[in-house]
Amino acid sequence: GNPTATVIALCAMRDFNLAQETCQLAIRDTGCLEVLINLLDTDEIRCQASSFIGSLKILKEISQNTLIRHAIADLGGLELMVKILDSPDRDIKYLAAETIANVSRFKQAREIVRQHGGIKRLVGLLECISVGPTSLTSTQAKDAEIARCAALALWSCSKSTKNKEAIRKAGGIPLLARWLKCSHADILTPVVGTLQECASELSYRLAIRTEGMIENLVKNLSSEHEELQMHCASAIFKCAEDKETRDLVRQHGGLQPLSVLLGNSENKKLLEAVTGAIWKCAISRENVSKFREYKAIEALVGLLTDQPEEVLVNVVGALAECCQEQINRTVICKCGGIPPLVKLLTGMDQTLLVNATRAVGACATEPENMMIIDRLDGVRLLWSLLKNPNPDVQAGAAWAICPCIENAKDAGEMVRSFVGGLELIVNLLKSENNEVLASVCAAITNIAKDEENLAIMTDYGVIPLLSKLANTNNDKLRRHLAEAISQCCMLGSNIATFGENKAVAPLVRYLKSNDPSVHRATAEALYQLSEDPNNIITMHENGVVKLLLVMVGSPEETLQEAAAGCLQNIRRLALAIDKAKYG
């Protein structure tokens, strides 16, 4: 057709309100969409640039509509837009990139961009100009716009795992790192958005740390733009699983702006990212001290009510980390944090339940806190979570029950008051999850300190179930299993039963572990088990004497005494046998 008429028609179309859905769908339903896409495939030199620009400006606007995005992809529009990213015309480049950013919000579109070489081309557009100046020349401004639109497109595409890898292979990480140093929020937002999206991958988290990006992420936490702050906090949230990153956030002064941002409770997306970053940063004790200094703990307690679950998960996770220190448990109690934490044990979100059990369990290590937890029926709620099908929740509840029993006034009676509670915890020894087994063994160790409860658990078959676990190679489980076996030996008849259930020989092998806490627990268990002559014979046959002699030389007094006591029992039996034999 007539190139001039085409351009005039495109200009006329732009006079309509293209943000209106009726106009967008009219363009599709009247066949105009096919025409707009076909214009991107023209070879007519005279009208190529102007028709490309006119068509792309319309496509950019109408591709905000989900139905239009799918239609553009179905009509082959993405392949053409990827191809024209190579155009020397700057306007065409940025318009094509921004339209790709809009269209690539669904999976198939992202695949098309990757399969047709779009990722490499988009990464290439980030190489336009040197980063830094706040005032740009007109050419630099156009190049910066190209980079912004390329970053937007990469951000959309980065929601696919394969595209994240493609961006990395195309050399995108150092270019994103370079743009992270610029001062323009409109460019920084898609750059940080892409980085935080890609930070789910280990290779990106490593690069963010090693290429010095943490400093710039921290710097932009103080930006005036909430969306940029949110993406920076989200990137830190994902990267702070790593200790070196947590240290860098602190060293670059990131903990204070994160604490300040807790005051912005209206923007829930920002609050979710900030509380997530605080949670992960609080894994390091040095950071917890800083958060206490910045009054973040009080602010977190204030967020325990009237917040969406996404925020609560992070708030409770952060408090669970802070609770590991006694001074913070006192702060949480003074701020009235225990009742809302206990109330969250009735929730449905699994991660929230795991975090709530950790926080309540840590608080229960203080007797005054335990009184509040008990009054609020918190121990019963924890016990009921042992029925939860999620192993992480089961383990969290069992670990939390341990300090509750240790610090309860009448722990034995409290435990017996839970109908079916002892049978429930014994049956959890049938779990296939090592963390559940270790936590349940720890709980049984505490429960068995009450003779009546130990007798009830024995009737429920706790001894054969504990014995069955003895062949484990998991040191955490070994330690808590040995402690449970030792405590269960307080009921005299159980000592021989452990031998009959073949628990003794595997225990001897625990002494070859590299974990000192396993040695201590095992020596205690063997000492108790050595009250039975048949157990002593089994120990001797499995080479226990040589191993215990090494333990006697340990600088740890508890281990020394248990090892020596066991050797004494072995020696006493040997003397008794000799006396019977030789008179």
The predicted structure's pLDDT at residue 135: 61
Residue 21: the pLDDT is: 83
Q: Measure the CA–CA gap between 13 and 376, rounded to whole angstroms.
A: 66
Query: Average pLDDT of 298-317?
Result: 96
Instruction: Please state the rounded mean pLDDT for residues 199-219.
Output: 95
- Name, in order, each residue with C-beta under 8 angstroms of 461's C-beta and a sequence gap of 6 or more: 426
Residue of 138, 79, 86, 128 lying closest to 104 (CA atoms): 79
Q: How many CB atoms lie within 10 A of CB 101?
A: 24
Confidence check: pLDDT of 23 > 90: no
Residue 222 token pair: 């103080």
Residue whose token pair is 């990469």: 154
Residue 401 has pLDDT above 90, yes or no: yes
The predicted pLDDT at position 16 comes to 72
Sign of CA dihedral 165, 166, 170, 174: negative
Nearest to 157 by CA among 176, 134, 177: 176
Radius of gyration, CA atoms only, the chain: 33
Query: What is the pLDDT, as a whole number, of residue 473?
Result: 95
Which amino acid is it at 265? S
Identify the pLDDT of residue 575.
80
Residue 428 pLDDT level (bands cut at 50, 70, 90): very high
- Banded model confidence at residue 49, pLDDT cuts 50, 70, 90: confident
14/401: higher pLDDT: 401
pLDDT > 70: percent of the chain: 96
| Of the candidates 192, 123, 200, 124, the residue with the CA atom closest to the CA atom of residue 154 | 123
25, 67 Cβ separation under 8 angstroms: yes
What distance in Å separates the CA atoms of residue 458 and residue 452, rounded to the nearest whole number? 10
427: exposed, middle or buried (C-beta count within 10 Å: 0-12, 13-18, 19+)?
middle
Averaged pLDDT of the chain: 92
Model pLDDT, residue 285: 95
Q: Is the pLDDT of residue 415 over 60?
A: yes
**pLDDT higher at 62 or 258:** 258
CATH code for the part of the protein at 1-198? 1.25.10.10
Q: Are 538 and 570 in contact (CB under 8 A)?
A: no
pLDDT at 421: 94
Q: What contacts 24+ positions apart, CB below 8 Å, involve 81-85?
A: 81/40, 81/56, 82/112, 82/113, 82/116, 82/117, 82/118, 82/121, 83/116, 84/40, 84/52, 85/118, 85/121, 85/122, 85/125
Give the per-residue pLDDT at 147: 94
Q: How confident is the model at residue 8 (pLDDT cuts 50, 70, 90)?
A: confident
Q: Which residues contact 519 (CB under 8 A, 6 or more apart)?
A: 510, 511, 513, 551, 554, 559
Per-residue confidence at 265, pLDDT binned at 50, 70, 90?
confident
pLDDT band, very low/low/confident/very high, at 22 (cuts 50, 70, 90): confident
pLDDT tens per residue, range 331-387: 999 999 999 999 999 999 999 999 999 999 999 999 999 999 999 999 999 999 999
User: Can you tell me whether residue 167 is helix, strand or coil?
Assistant: helix
Cα(560)–Cα(493) distance, integer angstroms: 26
Please report which confidence band the pLDDT of residue 48 belongs to, taking 50, 70 and 90 as the band edges: low
Q: Residue range 76-93: average pLDDT?
A: 92
Q: Say yes or no to pLDDT of 99 above 70.
A: yes
Q: Cα torsion for 256, 257, 262, 267, to the nearest 10°?
A: -170
CB-based contact 114:157 (threshold 8 Å): yes
Number of H-type helices and E-type strands within the chain: 40, 0
CA distance 155 to 152: 5
- Check pLDDT > 50 for residue 217: yes
Domain positions in the chain: 1-198
- What confidence tens digit (pLDDT) does each residue in 104-122 have? 999 999 999 999 999 999 9
pLDDT at 38 (0 to 100): 87
* Residue 24 pLDDT grade (very low, low, confident, very high; cuts 50, 70, 90): confident
The whole-number pLDDT of residue 44 equals 54
Which helix (H) or strand (E) covers residue 485, if one does?
A: helix 475-488
**For residues 431-450, average pLDDT:** 97
With cut-offs at 50, 70 and 90, classify the pLDDT of residue 45.
very low
Please tell me the predicted confidence (pLDDT) of residue 577. 75
* Tens digits of residue pLDDT in 240-256: 999 999 999 999 999 99
* Percentage, residues of the chain above pLDDT 90: 80
Its pTM stands at: 0.89
